[in-house]
């Protein structure tokens, strides 16, 4: 089967995250199963226009904002290689591929050369909603927020794949039919990890791209509050800060009364990520919302529980008081209370650690891919 996958980021994109890891793990396995696959994505500074990785092709057109029009132009130009299946990932803005495959999107002469229109399915890790106001400047943020319900109504007759019950509930609010929404379990590469001992000093980890919707400064504030009661407490912040919000967070760290106990690392590779998760005692997560929060499950696989805000996605990846702690109030004060609680109650911490590790064991890419493939009917 020939598969064309529309998404604005590939794994090498500086803004890539957990979704891109999952996408390309699936792509690798689809190729191994004999399918042909191409990603159609946005370019970025220094990126190749085309490359082949693990047997699948990555074609980069346009940039973050022009990729949607450029992808349509590319599709029209290569009608002779009409795919059997289109996977359209909706991440803030749809590609509207259902218009590509309508009779209005091709000329009569082109239509005669096409035997069958491809199957289509949407992939939506999470809806944007309030994220618009964190990730985009005004008035683009307001425009995006107001347009999202409109384009979701346009899309809601499609079949859609997602990774959590939270996103499923969001989709149901916008008219998607329950029977057309399919959930697959996330996967992690547990086999890459090694077992190392925790640090002697109680250490918190803030991990991932430092963007405004992640509210990383809340984690720094929570650390500062908890530090007053736990003098030996340490914080490690790891992630790309190459944006205006990231620069703000670095300034917050540098001006902190406890800056000598905060270590900032830039974006790290998989090996270093594994080491950090093994080394630290707790992972902190404070996003506006997530599809799932893959980093939570990855940390769990190292026996590292998470303290998280009570938001979509993280309600799925963290079982409160079982595999981690979910804040009652989404504030640095409440997160600090949970940090202190986990530090002082050794029995609680050991129980969370054990449960988190056991919970993570079911999240393998073999299982994830099996369910994904079943949904696609491959």
> Are 30 and 106 in the same domain?
yes
DSSP 170-230: HHHHTT--GGGEEE----B-GGG----PPPSS-EEEEES---GGGTHHHHHHHHHHHHTT-
> Are 284 and 211 in the same domain?
yes
d(CA 20, CA 360): 20
Coil, strand or helix at 323:
coil
> Are 207 and 129 in the same domain?
no
> Are 254 and 326 in the same domain?
yes
> Are 161 and 107 in the same domain?
yes
What is the span of the domain harbouring residue 165?
2-187+365-376
> Are 331 and 369 in the same domain?
no
Q: What's the token pair of residue 131? A: 């994220």
> Are 220 and 147 in the same domain?
no
d(CA 373, CA 268): 31
Q: Please tell me the total count of domains within the chain.
A: 2
In terms of DSSP H, where are the helices of 285-345? 294-300, 314-317, 332-344
> Are 177 and 241 in the same domain?
no
d(CA 62, CA 160): 26
> Are 252 and 331 in the same domain?
yes
Coil, strand or helix at 114:
coil
Q: Which residues of the chain have pLDDT under 50?
A: 103-105, 112, 192-193
> Are 215 and 339 in the same domain?
yes
> Are 242 and 155 in the same domain?
no
d(CA 263, CA 233): 12
> Are 231 and 344 in the same domain?
yes
- The CATH code of the domain that includes 44 is 3.40.50.2000
Please tell me the predicted confidence (pLDDT) of residue 103.
41
Q: What's the token pair of residue 192? A: 């890459």
Please tell me the predicted confidence (pLDDT) of residue 157.
94
């Amino acid at each position: 089967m020939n598969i064309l996958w529309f998404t604005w980021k590939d794994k090498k994109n500086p803004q890539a995250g957990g979704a891109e890891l999952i996408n390309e793990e699936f792509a690798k396995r689809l190729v191994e199963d004999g399918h042909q696959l191409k990603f159609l994505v946005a370019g970025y500074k220094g990126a190749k226009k085309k490359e082949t990785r693990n047997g699948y092709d990555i074609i980069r057109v346009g940039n973050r904002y022009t990729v949607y029009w450029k992808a349509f132009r590319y599709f029209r130009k290569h009608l002779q290689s009409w795919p059997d299946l289109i996977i359209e990932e909706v991440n803030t803005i749809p590609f509207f591929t259902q218009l590509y495959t309508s009779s209005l999107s091709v000329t009569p002469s082109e239509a005669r050369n096409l035997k069958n229109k491809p199957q289509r399915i949407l992939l939506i890790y999470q809806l944007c909603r309030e994220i618009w106001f964190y990730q985009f400047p005004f008035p683009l943020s307001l425009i995006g927020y107001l347009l999202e319900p409109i384009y979701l109504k346009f899309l809601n007759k499609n079949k859609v794949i997602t990774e959590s019950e939270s996103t499923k509930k969001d989709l149901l609010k916008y008219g998607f039919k329950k029977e057309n929404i399919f959930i697959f379990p996330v996967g992690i590469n547990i086999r890459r990890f090694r077992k190392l001992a925790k640090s002697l000093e109680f250490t918190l980890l803030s991990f991932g791209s430092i963007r405004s919707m992640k509210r990383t400064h809340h984690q720094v504030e929570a650390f500062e509050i908890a530090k007053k009661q736990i003098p030996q407490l340490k914080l490690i912040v790891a992630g790309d800060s190459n944006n205006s919000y990231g620069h703000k967070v670095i300034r917050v760290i540098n001006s902190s009364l406890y800056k000598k106990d905060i270590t900032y690392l830039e974006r790290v590779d998989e090996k270093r990520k594994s080491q950090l998760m093994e080394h630290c005692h707790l992972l902190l997560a404070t996003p506006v919302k997530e599809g799932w929060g893959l980093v939570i499950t990855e940390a769990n696989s190292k026996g590292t529980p998470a303290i998280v805000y009570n938001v979509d996605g993280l309600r799925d990846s963290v079982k409160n008081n079982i595999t981690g702690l979910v804040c009652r109030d989404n504030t640095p004060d409440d997160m600090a209370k949970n940090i202190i609680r986990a530090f002082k109650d050794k029995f609680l911490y050991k129980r969370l650690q054990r449960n988190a590790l056991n919970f993570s064991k079911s999240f393998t890419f073999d299982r994830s891919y099996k369910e994904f493939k079943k949904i696609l009917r491959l």
